[in-house]
Structure 1
Amino acid sequence: MKIVSLASVRGAPGVTTAALLLASTLPEAAVVEADLVGGVLAVRYGLGREPGLTTFAAGGPDAAWRAHAQDAGGVPVLVGPDAPGASELMWRSAGERITHKLVAADGVAVVDAGRFHSPVPIVSASDLLAILVNPVADQLVALTHLLPTLRQATRGRLGVVIVGDGPYRAVEVERSVEVPVIGALPDDRDAAEALLYGGSRSRLARSRLARAVSALGIELSSSVLAPAGAVVA
Structure 2
Amino acid sequence: MALIAMVSAKGSPGVTTAALACTLSWSSRTLLAECDPAGGDILAGYLANSEIPPIGLLNLAVAELRGQADTTEFNKQIIDLDLKHPGYRHVLPGINDPVQIGTVRPVWPRLTDFFLGLEYKGPGYDVIADCGRLATSAPPWPLLHRADLVVLVVRATSLRAILPAIPAIGQLRKELTDNGRGAGSLALMLVGRGSEPASEIERRLQVPVLAELPEDRAAATALSDGIGRLRDSSPLLRAAAAAEPILRQAIEQRRARLTATRAGARG
- In 1, the alpha carbon distance for the partners of 2:159 and 2:38 equals 25
Match of 1:153 in 2: 175
Taking the TM superposition and a 5 Å limit, the aligned residue runs for 1:1-233 are 2-24=2-24, 25-44=26-45, 45=47, 46=50, 48=52, 50-57=54-61, 58-59=63-64, 60-64=68-72, 65-72=74-81, 74=83, 75-86=89-100, 88-106=101-119, 107-117=125-135, 119-120=139-140, 121-135=142-156, 136-154=158-176, 155-156=180-181, 157-195=185-223, 196-197=225-226, 199-201=228-230, 204-224=231-251
- In 2, the alpha carbon distance for the partners of 1:217 and 1:96 equals 26
Gaps of 5+ in 2: 84-88, 120-124, 257-267
Deviations 1:98-125 (A, max 9, x none): 1111112221110111222354122222
Query: 1:53·1:68 contact (CA, 8 Å) conserved in 2?
Result: yes
**Which secondary structure state, in structure 2, belongs to the residue aligned with residue 13 of structure 1?**
coil
Report the Cα offset of residue 19 of structure 1. 0.7
Query: 1:4·1:130 contact (CA, 8 Å) conserved in 2?
Result: yes
Please give the TM-score of this superposition, normalised by the length of structure 1: 0.86
Report the Cα offset of residue 5 of structure 1. 1.1
- In 2, the alpha carbon distance for the partners of 1:96 and 1:191 equals 34
Report the Cα offset of residue 227 of structure 1. 10
Deviations 1:26-65 (A, max 9, x none): 4121001111111112222145463211222215253353
- In 1, the alpha carbon distance for the partners of 2:149 and 2:192 equals 21
Root-mean-square deviation (CA), in Å?
A: 2.3
- Matched to 1:95, the amino acid is W
Mean alpha-carbon deviation: is it higher for 127-136 or for 91-100? 91-100
The alpha-carbon distance between structure 1 residues 189 and 90, as it changes in their structure 2 partners (threshold 3 A), is farther
Please give the TM-score of this superposition, normalised by the length of structure 2: 0.76
Deviations 1:172-202 (A, max 9, x none): 111111000111110111111233426434x
The alpha-carbon distance between structure 1 residues 49 and 36, as it changes in their structure 2 partners (threshold 3 A), is farther
Gaps of 5+ in 1: none
The alignment-based identity, stated in percent, is 28
Report the Cα offset of residue 163 of structure 1. 0.8
Match of 2:122 in 1: none
Deviations 1:69-121 (A, max 9, x none): 113455311112111121x2133122122111111222111011122235412
Larger Rg: 2
Alignment coverage as a number of residue pairs: 226
